[in-house]
Structure 1
Amino acid sequence: MPVDVSARHANELPPLEIHDVPGDAHSLALLLEDLDSPLGEVTHWLVWNLPPTTQRVDSLNLPSQARTGMDAFGKVGYLGPVPPEGCHHYRFRLLALDAELDLQAGATRSQFEHAASGHVLAEARLTGALCMPTPDHGS
């Protein structure tokens, strides 16, 4: 992943292209997870109720009906990757849902998963790595 998307730099969502959404989808959801956190899978971003016709999502292009959830750090919105050092793998998950979710903005990942349970028609994943230099503790 480009370092610009990290929380230490521009903290901007990289542009994501969406293709081949099932015809019976009523909405889409996107998640960004850190797969290598010592805390387990950490949610960096969560958004739902994207229209199924959405073809591109980026920091400047989020549809007005979309709702953004709370990340693992208690904040609502996008928090770019922020590995303390070394490499972490980050996974974007796109979910095609058979309904819009009746869930308020700011909902937690647990609330989202409960609301989305039984509504997932398809899922796509994109995984990238971001590596930060390891501090030199010997000098």
Structure 2
Amino acid sequence: MPVAASARDANELPPLEIRDVPDAVHSLALVLEDLDSPLGEVTHWLVWNLPPDTHRVDALHLPSEGRVGLDAFGKVGYLGPIPPEGCHRYRFRLLALDAELDLAPGATRTQFDAAAEGHVLAEADLTGALCAATPDPDASN
């Protein structure tokens, strides 16, 4: 993961390119989750009802049709990773759905998962790693 994606830095959603979406897709969804959190499943970003012709998503390009849900910390929007220690793997999951989801903005991950169940036609994953900040040994001098 780029350092700028971290909430300790710019907290900026990294650019994501979307290609080869199947023809029968009615909407796309994206989930960013921490695979190594000691807390279990930790969602850092959740968005659904993206048009199937969406080719790029980043900090400046999120289609207006997209609906953004709650992260694991109760906030709506993107919350960049902040591994507390060591290195964590963060997975972006792109879901190609056969329908738009009837969910209001601010829905929880549990509500999203229930609404998407049975509608996933295809899925793609992109995983990156980010490590906890290490103390600068010269900072105390």
| TM-score normalised by length of structure 2 | 0.94
Identity %: 80
Say whether the 8 Å CA contact 1:88–1:130 is kept in structure 2: yes
Matched residue type, 1:20: D
Between the aligned partners of 1:129 and 1:12, the Cα distance in structure 2 is 15
Give the Å deviation of 1:85: 2.1
Match of 1:102 in 2: 102
Task: Spell out, residue by residue over 1:92-136, the C-alpha distance to the aligned partner (whole angstroms, 9 max, x if none).
Answer: 000000000010000000000110010000000000000123459
Report how many aligned residue pairs link the two structures: 137
Question: SS at the partner of 2:115?
Answer: helix
| Superposition CA RMSD, Å | 1.3
CA deviations over 1:68-99 (Å, ceiling 9, x no partner): 00000000000001101210000000000000
SS at match of 2:111: helix
Matched position secondary structure for 2:110 = helix
Paired residues for 1:17-96 under 5 Å: 17-96=17-96
Amino acid of the structure 2 residue aligned with 1:27 = S
User: Which AA in structure 1 matches 2:64?
Assistant: S
Rounded Cα–Cα distance in structure 1 between residues aligned with 2:132 and 2:109: 27
Gaps (5+ residues) in structure 1? none
- Partner SS state of residue 46, structure 2: strand
Q: Distance in 2 between matches of 1:46 and 1:28?
A: 11
